[in-house]
Amino acid sequence: MKPGECHLVSDVELVTRAQEGDLPAFEELVQRYQRDIYALACRMVSDAEEARDVMQQAWLQAFLHIRDFRGHSAFRTWLFRITLNQCYNFLKGRKRYGEPVDVGDLVLEAEDSPEAELMAEEERARLYQALERLPAKQRAVITLKLEQNLSYQEIAQVLGGTAGAARVNYCQAIKRLKKLLVSEHDHDVAVRPYPKVAPRISRR
């Protein structure tokens, strides 16, 4: 659900009810924004299963702290902030324990023809590899800007700092992603300086 979409009950009303302990109201908010949260988590952690866990943790945190939400920003923006914090925690843990990343789990859609499918898969893999090599904050800013369509002001509310800093961060991120995509395209997979990510069977 995007902010521009029409709802019978507004976010503000649902949040107020949720703050008073109304669980169905909170679950209505979950239904509205679960796809956005999941998409952000997937981009950040590059693993469908881990993204699900991160999303679940984010919703639980949101439920626990919903009384602290003062309405200074949109509820969706506040959720993104919580989700990113969960993602950062996960990434920190992964860095510490060296857990493998599975971008293969994210490739779920089938194309029309085998050739098109192959090309699309190649492109997707290239994109995911490049995204994976971006610093987490740049990955976040690109996702928030291009996929969640947040303004620089809203990105600043999520990531901290000013709208100007968010714009500069986005410009740097997109240029870096472009460079990484070009380098992915130019070089053979076997000579990449990082270990090749092998698709693995989903744990689900």
Partner 1 sequence: MTMTWRCALIQRWLPGYLDAEAGGLRNRLVARHLERCPACRQELAELEATVRLLRAHPVPDPGPEFWAAFQRELHLQLVQLQEEPRRQPERRHLPVPRRLILAVAPLAVLLLVAVGVWREFRPRGPAPLPAPPVAVTAPLPAESDSSVELAAHGGGAAHPPGPEKVLYAGIDEGLWDEDLVLNWDMDPVLGDLSPQEREALARKLMGGEP
Q: Compute the least distance from the CB of residue 160 to partner 1, in Å.
A: 18
The tokens describing 114, both together, are 């085998």
Cβ distance to partner 1 smaller for residue 81 or 124: 124
Q: Compute the least distance from the CB of residue 96 to partner 1, in Å.
A: 26
d(CA 172, CA 142): 10
Cβ distance to partner 1 smaller for residue 24 or 98: 24
CA distances for 48 relative to 21, 112, 192, angstroms: 31, 23, 24
Cβ distance to partner 1 smaller for residue 98 or 108: 108
d(CA 45, CA 90): 8
Cβ distance to partner 1 smaller for residue 56 or 73: 56
Q: Compute the least distance from the CB of residue 85 to partner 1, in Å.
A: 18
d(CA 157, CA 171): 18
The tokens describing 78, both together, are 């506040």
Which residues bind to partner 1, rule: CB under 8 A? 21, 23, 26-27, 30-31, 34-35, 38-39, 42-43, 48, 52, 55-56, 59-60, 63-64, 106-109, 120, 123-124, 127, 142, 145-147, 151-152, 167, 170-171, 174-175, 177-178, 181-182
Please state the φ and ψ torsions of residue 118, each to the nearest 5 degrees. Answer: -65, -45
| Count of C-beta atoms within a 10 Å radius of residue 23 | 10
Rounded (10°) angle between helices 114-133 and 163-186: 130
Q: Compute the least distance from the CB of residue 133 to partner 1, in Å.
A: 14
Q: Compute the least distance from the CB of residue 94 to partner 1, in Å.
A: 19
